[in-house]
Every structure is written in C-alpha cells, then in structure tokens.
A and B are shown apart, each in its own frame.
Chain A
Amino acid sequence: MSSRIAEHVRSIPRSGIRDFFEIVQSMKGVISLGIGEPDFVTPWHIREAAVYSLEKGRTGYTSNLGDPRLRRSIAKYVEKHFSLAYNPHDEIIVTVGVSEGIDLALRALLNPGDEVLYHEPCYVSYAPSIALARGKAVPVVTRAEDEFVLRAADLEKAVTPRTRLLMLSFPTNPTGAVMPPDELAKIAAFAVKHDLVVLTDEIYSELTYDALPHHSIAALPGMKERTLFLHGFSKAFAMTGWRIGFACGPSDIIEAMMKIHQYSIMCASTMAQEAAIEALERGQRSMERMREEYRLRRNFIVSSLNEAGIPCHLPKGAFYVFPDIRGTGMTSKDFSLALLKEKNVAVVPGTAFGASGEGYVRCSYAAALDQIKIAVERIAEFVKK
C-alpha cells in the first residue's frame, strides 16, 4: 500500500529529542539536564493576573492580531529594550509561542523550493518547519573554536539565486552563542546584498549575562524593513506552558501571517495574553532575578565540567552549555545513551541540533543547583571511567 501520509511530511525525520525522551521516560530517578525550559514556575504576579482575568470573565476571542492592549505593551517593550519602533495597529501579531510565529512566517514567505539559510547547531524545529512550508533548508555550520558565532563568509558560500530567507537565533539553543556586533553588521550587509528577508528568533534575548547588551539585527540600519522580529515569553518570564509569543515586522508580512493565523488558530489564548501583559508591564524584576540565578548556575556548571576535564566554553547567553565530549572517543548519541544507562543522567546529544553538533552534548542549567551538582559529579565519574 502506498503511504497515505503527504510526501513532504514523510520526508521529515522524527525528532532525535523525542526518541531520547521516550527512553528517559521509561527510567526511574533520572537527573535531567535535558530540559529546554526554565525550572522556575511562572512568577506569581503573572499567574495572579491570569487568575484575575478569569474571575472577570475575560474568556472570549481576542482580535486575530491579538488583544490591542497586549500589542501596545509589546510595542512599548520592544522599543525600550531593542530600540525598535513598531506600530501596534498593523506591525505586530500575537502568536502561540515563537514556534507558531516561525511557521506562519515561513508559510507566508516561501514558494516551493525557495532556500532558507540558517545556522547550525540550532533549535530542532527550523529544518522541519522549512520543509513543512515546502522550502529547502540550507544549514550553515558554526564552530566551537569560534564560540558558535555565525560568519558572513560562511553564508556567502551557501547562498544561491534561490535563497529567500535567512533565519537567525541568538542567543542560540543549544550553544548559548551570541553575535558580536561587528559580525552582526556583516550579516546585515550580506542580507541586503542578496535581498533576503531575515527571520530573527530572539526568544533568549533577555538571557545574556555579565551585563552584555543584546543587539537585534532588526535595529541595524536598513534592516527593519526586511526583518521579522520574533519573540516570546517562555524563557525570560518562565512561561513555556502558556504558549504565547509575538512577531513584529513590515505590515505586508504581518498581514500575510495574520491570514494564515486567522484561519488556522484564530487567536492566541486570551488568558495567556492577559498574563503576557502583566509580564511585560511588571515582570522586569522577576526576570532579572531568574537571570541572575541562571548566571550563577552557568558559572557553576562550566567550572565543574572543566574541572572534571570536559572542555566547556562559557556561553554568553541562553541557559545551555555545550561541552565537548570528543575526548571520550564516543559519538554524542552513544555518550548520551551510556551516560543515561550507567549514571541515570540525561543530556541531549548534540546531533539532535544538526549534524554539526556531533562531538558535543547539550546540558541545560535551568535546573536546581543541587541537581546540577549531582549530575556533573556523575558525568565526571562516567568520563573518568
């Protein structure tokens, strides 16, 4: 029997993370550094705002683009923190997490066969989302010795006449990489030269450490009109389960995204939108408290891993470290599986984030300090053996 599943869906492999997750689920007492979400519960004042909105009976649909109050809050927040001015009337759309924003953008912008450049190792959904939008995913490698910074020179080697889009995500999951401003400027010039639209997923942008400022490519001269800025609440405000994010960009792109959103989603969850307003208006303090906690844990895990003889650079953002396990002579997958079986510690194989993640594993430090401590001790014992 010929498959009844559409070809382009069949072409997408199952997520490597999912396979791994199922093994972990079947085991007991695993200490996990494999979790890509904050270990904090959403700050109480944000939860309380959602509870209040339910008590008030705000349970209907909102505008397709999102509650106008939230869009105004987003405009104010993005202007203050990213120096980007967007009109809440037609340049902002509220989405079900950044994930939906990426999907909408790709579907709105790609014709079949259009090529999309993105950097690897990267978040697991980029290549499949491009394939689902009938585009062609073209990964560009970033390197450990370069702290996983994306180089314009590498993009030049990958660009073709079919290239339509460039996807960026800094700070990066899984490497924690951030872009130095001068290299970001070169990438902006590259995008202008080849007339590309840029999708920039800045979900981790609040989480840069040691007072390092975050720069959005959208704020560089000449970039705003060709850039779609994607952001959300999951990481900075510990709101993963609320599924709430937003996209800001030129009104023609937002309008096109809105059409898809309108017919597939209608609008993001109303109570999540209420919570999001609270996060933007009064969440700065809780965000800073969590960021400080991540910063300390990052220091802790990086020094512990290096002390254990596992080379690990100090990432400047996000909440992951990406240690180099090549010294063990194992592949990322074998290492992760053996570590799980022998020491009950879960990390994610680097190859889950693209082929260039081979030789590395991702450890999340969005976990309680005592858990991180035990996990690293066990990793050290494992590597010694």
Chain B
Amino acid sequence: MDSLIRILRQNSAIPRADLARLLGLTEADVVAQIAKLEADGVILGYHAVINSDKWDAEAVTAAIEVRVSPEREGGFDRIASRIAGFEEVESVYLMSGGYDLLVIVNGNNLREVASFVAAKLSTIESVLSCATRFRLKTYKENGLHHAQEEVPERLSVTP
C-alpha cells in the first residue's frame, strides 16, 4: 500500500496496467486496492497540478492567518469547518505558533478575495483577526517545479 500511495501521489493518472507491473501485482489487485483506499477515505480525490502562470494568470491566491477564540465545546473544529465550507477556501489548517488557522483562498481577482475576507471571514463571531498575504509567484507546488528544469544530457551507452 505504501508504494501504491507513493506512486499515485506522484502521478495519479498512471494507467492501472503500469501500476500492476511496477508493484508486481495483477491489474485486478491494483483496482481493488485503490477502490478500498477510496472507500476508506484514504484517497480523497485526484487533481491536476496547473501552472497558474500559463493558465488563468489573473487568478489570486491568498494565505490568510486567522486568530480565533476557541469555543468551550468543539475547540477549533467547529469554527474551522465553518470556514472550510466556503467555496473560495481551498485549504484550512490548524497551526501552531502565532495564529490559529491558516486559510488558503482562491479568487478570480484581488477584489474577490478582499471581499471574501471583509464580508465573510472577518465577520465570523469568534474570528479575532485576519492577516492576508497574497501569493506573488509560485516556484514549486505539490512537489513539482513550475519552471521546467532542463534535463542534463547523459552519454547514451556507458559501462
């Protein structure tokens, strides 16, 4: 399972037949294992990693550091899931350190993100403060470098 997940993390679009050969399993075994990982909620979904400079370059991503007051019952979880419910929110993490929740928000433009923060996020009762930081450029995302690295040449036959 470890190897299967590692491969899918790198390339979830890999054909099942190739997976079977890599893992030394039958294709049916691979299909069954993936189905189980999906059913158990280990695999939540599959995404393409898009180079945002080449596609939808106007889109805006913000990392918002949110301080909240935890509730007596439910701690951070209730407030976090309330924030996570908004469509604009891509990820929500509970963090150690100077703030509580890190909220990654996507918008079509600056105004969209700003109005989400002003109208939705900062008005939630237990939210104490928001510090919004906009992404300027992406260098590496999900393990992939955005600038295509040159493949260094190797000799074609060596001992």
Contacts and interface: CB of A to CB of B under 8 A. Distances in A.
B22 A299 contact: yes
Interface in A1-56: 15, 17, 20-21, 24-25, 30, 32, 34-37, 39, 41
Interface of B: 3, 6-7, 18, 20-24, 152, 154-159
Given A292-B3, A296-B3, A35 B157 contact: yes
A17 B159 CA distance: 7
A36 B159 CA distance: 5
Interface residues of A, number: 30
Given A299-B22, A300-B22, A32 B157 contact: yes
A29 to B, nearest CB: 11
B142 to A, nearest CB: 16
Contacts of A300: 18, 21-22
B21 A299 contact: yes
B156 A34 contact: yes
A90 B74 CA distance: 65
A123 B159 contact: yes
A326 interface: no
Interface string A315-358: 00000000000000000000000000000001010001000000
A297 interface: yes
A369 interface: yes
B7 A296 contact: yes
A73 interface: no
A303 interface: yes
Contacts of B157: 17, 20-21, 24, 32, 34-35, 346, 348
Contact of B158 (A17, A30, A303, A373): A17
Nearest to B25: A299
A185 interface: no
A123 B159 CA distance: 7
A373 B23 CA distance: 15
B16 to A, nearest CB: 13
9 contacts: A17-B157, A21-B158, A32-B156, A34-B156, A34-B158, A35-B154, A123-B159, A299-B24, A300-B21
Contacts of A352: 159
Contacts of A32: 156-157
A304 interface: yes
Contacts of A369: 18, 22
A220 interface: no
A24 B155 CA distance: 10
Contacts of B21: 299-300, 303-304
Contacts of B18: 300, 369, 373
B154 A296 contact: no
B11 to A, nearest CB: 9
Contact of B155 (A35, A173, A297, A299): A35
Contacts of A15: 159
A146 B16 CA distance: 33
Contacts of A303: 20-21, 24
Contact of A296 (B23, B155, B158): B23
B158 A36 contact: yes
Given A296-B3, A296-B7, A300-B18, A21 B156 contact: yes
Contacts of A63: none
A160 interface: no
A226 B118 CA distance: 77
A352 B158 CA distance: 11
Given A35-B154, A292-B3, A369-B18, A125 B24 contact: no
Nearest to A304: B21
Given A34-B156, A123-B159, A299 B23 contact: yes
A39 B158 CA distance: 12
Given A17-B159, A21-B155, A296-B23, 19 more contacts: A15-B159, A17-B158, A24-B156, A34-B156, A34-B157, A34-B158, A35-B154, A35-B155, A36-B159, A37-B158, A123-B159, A292-B3, A297-B22, A299-B21, A300-B18, A303-B20, A303-B24, A369-B18, A369-B22
